[in-house]
Amino acid sequence: MKQLLPLEALAAILMSHAPQGEAGRGNTACFDWSCTGGYPSTCTFDPSCSVTNSGTPWRDSWTYGDGGSDLLSPGSTATHVYTQPYPDVTLLKYHFSANSPSVTCNIVARNVVGPPQLLNGRCQ
């Protein structure tokens, strides 16, 4: 009768033969953002500038800096409405078994003080 490998041993063998760049190596989190600037301000977040390796089960975890958050399918554009002007937004490219890169940026949802600031940008 054939001896079967335990699941952990099979996973270790497969991971040891993964191509360079798999299993969380070389992944980066990045997003482009744009806000309407009104009150309230609607902002969109596009994670397409992030680098993730194909064949891995990524999810995009957004933390909007005002208590709101979303867990979306990879690459989905997120939308959030703000009443506060300068939140910190975090994108975590979540992987269930490997390194999960993240990036946090302070964005301008609307200008309230000082010289006008851009209502869009890239966070990387």
* Tens digits of residue pLDDT in 32-82: 999 999 999 999 999 999 987 755 657 899 999 999 999 999 889 999 999
22-113 in CATH: which number? 2.60.40.10
pLDDT at site 7: 43
The answer to whether the beta carbons of residues 44 and 109 sit under 8 Å apart is no
Q: Nearest 10 degrees: CA dihedral of 30, 36, 39, 44?
A: -30
CA pair distance 69, 91, nearest whole angstrom: 10
- Evaluate the CA torsion angle 29, 76, 61, 17 in order and state its sign: negative
Q: pTM to 2 decimals?
A: 0.75
pLDDT at site 24: 44
- Single out the residue of 54, 56, 33 nearest to residue 109, CA to CA: 33
Number of neighbouring beta carbons within 10 Å of residue 57: 10
What is the total residue count of the chain?
124
CA pair distance 62, 88, nearest whole angstrom: 11
